[in-house]
């Protein structure tokens, strides 16, 4: 086999290997979130399977082209079908709890794919005619790593952004089939196998039902039964309900939206004020609310168009800025009367960089001196878990004492609305005990 053709095969292996990892990380976001405790093990399992593939490939001592061709065909099927959004949804829908479903996905799809791809370089190195073994392996690793680099960059920044996640899955499957064709003898069986994988990949990725995929999230608009509502529908982001609306006049919104509106319009009597909303959701906070000016910040550039066309049925009120929430509050020179933090990536998961003390300090930075920060959190109704206690303590370490309202006290998970004022400062606290009870003194100082 010509040297150039061998390097093309190795390049395809590198492109599709890391491409599969990037796609897998994206596909599990709706089910597991994107925290470091999810992404790091995923990368680790992938690398372990890749290492085992290297070891297995080193043991192959004949039929080199046939083995790699077979691996590429199986990997194409695993990519086209196993990494498709509908397949990942089926796994997480059929297996509970989600952690077990995650392990099934890793063991059944990602690791076998990485193991097959890992065999490529050790096997094909046997066919590279060089004076030195180091030269052969060096060139092979060069083209494989170059493919990995281009695969990760092009799929995440180009293909997923402009064509969608399903397109990225199909492209990787087709590239693997192209490698299979280059390595295989030209006969009818090869053509039939390739055609079957192509049809399987297209079938799994073309139809996604009501789901709209972007590089950042899966969206769906579904009808819901809501007491007192008229034809209510929900805007789902990564399998969790982000917003609700119906066809009543005035429309019925999600309870937490109604509560935050009440704070802004009735409790604070805001009129003609600048309101910053971190996390766009379905843009219902400003829906038919012309009293104030709203600026939405969301990392997904497609979310406004999806919400307007499929959910609201009309243009969303307010400005829309495509940016990461933390980066925006760090860099913005504008000041707002209120900042609404509603930044869930899936279920009850806030991205890890949006719960730290440094993030909450940055939200305070963009407030007017008498401004207010309102955060919508999803926590246990009793606020008893370590996550609830520590998250609330982190916020109050920046803002001082905040108002904390649990909206669904009879449910395991509830919307918890936290209201903090920029004019407050964190203060040391003390306990009232019988020996030294300063309650009356403190009460007098507080009047």
User: How many domains would you assign to the chain?
Assistant: 2
**Which of 208, 236, 266 represents a domain boundary (last residue)?**
208
Is 187 in the same domain as 271? no
Claim: this prediction has a pTM higher than 0.75: yes
Spell out the SS3 assignment of 207-254.
Answer: CCCCCEECCCCEEEEEECCCCCCCCCEEEEECCEEEEEECCCCCCCCC
Q: Is residue 437 part of a domain?
A: no
**Which of 188, 208, 228 represents a domain boundary (last residue)?**
208
125 within 8 A of 57, measured Cβ to Cβ: no
Q: Is residue 439 part of a domain?
A: no
Is 110 in the same domain as 189? yes
Is 9 in the same domain as 128? yes
Q: Is residue 294 part of a domain?
A: yes
Distance CA 349, CA 32 (A): 8
Residue that the structure tokens 């590239």 belong to: 175
Is 223 in the same domain as 196? no
82 within 8 A of 109, measured Cβ to Cβ: yes
Give me the CATH number covering residue 71: 1.20.1250
Strands 274-278 and 336-341: parallel
Q: Encode the chain (447 residues) as per-residue pLDDT tens digits.
A: 678 888 899 999 999 999 999 999 999 988 888 888 899 999 999 999 999 999 999 999 888 899 999 999 999 999 999 999 999 999 998 999 989 999 999 999 999 999 999 999 999 888 876 657 777 788 888 999 999 999 999 999 999 988 889 999 999 999 999 999 988 877 777 888 889 999 999 998 987 777 888 888 889 999 998 888 899 999 998 888 889 999 998 899 999 999 999 999 999 999 999 999 999 989 999 999 999 999 999 999 999 999 999 999 999 999 999 999 999 999 999 999 999 999 876 655 678 889 999 999 999 999 999 999 999 999 998 999 999 999 999 999 999 999 999 998 888 889 999 999 999 888 888 888 888 888 888 778 777
Q: Is residue 438 part of a domain?
A: no
Q: Is residue 127 part of a domain?
A: yes
Going edge to edge, which strands form the sheet with 233-237? Answer: 212-213, 218-223, 233-237, 240-245
Is 67 in the same domain as 103? yes
Owning domain of residue 400: 218-421
Distance CA 91, CA 21 (A): 17
Burial environment of residue 318 by CB neighbours within 10 A (0 to 12, 13 to 18, 19 or more) = buried
Burial environment of residue 315 by CB neighbours within 10 A (0 to 12, 13 to 18, 19 or more) = exposed
Is 87 in the same domain as 137? yes
Give me the CATH number covering residue 334: 3.40.50.150
Is 14 in the same domain as 148? yes
Is 171 in the same domain as 296? no
Intra-chain end-to-end CA distance of the chain, in Å = 89
Is 243 in the same domain as 378? yes
Is 87 in the same domain as 224? no
Is 277 in the same domain as 145? no
Q: Is residue 100 part of a domain?
A: yes
Q: Is residue 433 part of a domain?
A: no
State both tokens at 149: 């680099």
Is 225 in the same domain as 151? no
């Amino acid at each position: 086999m010509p040297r150039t053709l061998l390097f093309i095969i190795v390049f395809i292996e590198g492109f599709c290997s890391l491409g599969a990892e990037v796609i897998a990380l994206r596909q599990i976001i709706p089910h597991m979130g994107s925290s470091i405790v999810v992404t790091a093990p995923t990368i680790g399992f992938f690398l372990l399977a890749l290492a085992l593939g290297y070891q297995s490939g080193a043991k192959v001592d004949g039929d080199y082209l046939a083995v790699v061709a077979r691996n590429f065909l199986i990997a194409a099927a695993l990519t086209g079908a196993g990494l498709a959004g509908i397949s990942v949804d089926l796994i997480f829908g059929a297996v509970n709890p989600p952690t077990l479903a995650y392990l099934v996905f890793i063991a059944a799809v990602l690791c076998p794919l990485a193991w097959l791809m890992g065999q490529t370089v050790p096997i094909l190195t046997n066919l590279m005619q060089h004076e030195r073994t180091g030269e052969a392996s060096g060139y092979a690793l060069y083209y494989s790593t170059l493919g990995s680099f281009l695969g990760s960059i092009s799929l995440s920044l180009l293909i997923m952004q402009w064509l969608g996640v399903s397109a990225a899955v199909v492209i990787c499957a087709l590239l693997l089939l192209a490698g299979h064709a280059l390595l295989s003898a030209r006969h009818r069986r090869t053509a039939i196998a390739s055609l079957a994988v192509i049809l399987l990949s297209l079938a799994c990725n073309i139809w996604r039902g009501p789901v709209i995929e972007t590089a950042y999230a899966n969206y769906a608009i579904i009808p819901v039964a809501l007491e007192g509502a008229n034809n209510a529908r929900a805007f789902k982001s990564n399998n969790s309900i982000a917003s609700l609306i119906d066809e009543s006049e005035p429309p019925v919104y999600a309870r937490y939206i109604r509560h935050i509106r009440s704070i802004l319009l009735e409790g604070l009597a805001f009129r003609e004020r600048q309101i910053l909303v971190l996390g766009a959701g379905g843009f219902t906070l400003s829906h038919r609310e012309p009293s104030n000016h709203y600026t939405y910040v969301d990392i997904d550039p497609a979310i406004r168009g999806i919400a307007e066309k499929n959910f609201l049925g009309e243009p969303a009120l307010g400005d829309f800025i495509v940016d990461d929430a933390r980066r925006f509050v760090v860099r913005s020179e504008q000041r707002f009367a209120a900042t609404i933090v509603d930044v869930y990536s899936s279920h009850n998961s806030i991205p890890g960089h949006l719960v730290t003390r440094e993030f909450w300090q940055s939200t305070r930075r963009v407030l007017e001196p008498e401004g207010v920060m309102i955060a919508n959190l999803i926590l246990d109704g009793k606020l008893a878990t370590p996550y609830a206690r520590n998250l609330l303590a982190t916020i109050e370490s920046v803002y001082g004492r905040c108002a904390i309202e649990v909206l669904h006290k009879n449910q395991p998970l509830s919307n918890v609305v936290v209201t903090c004022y920029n004019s407050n400062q964190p203060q040391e606290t003390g306990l009232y005990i019988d020996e030294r009870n300063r309650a009356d003194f403190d009460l007098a100082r507080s009047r």
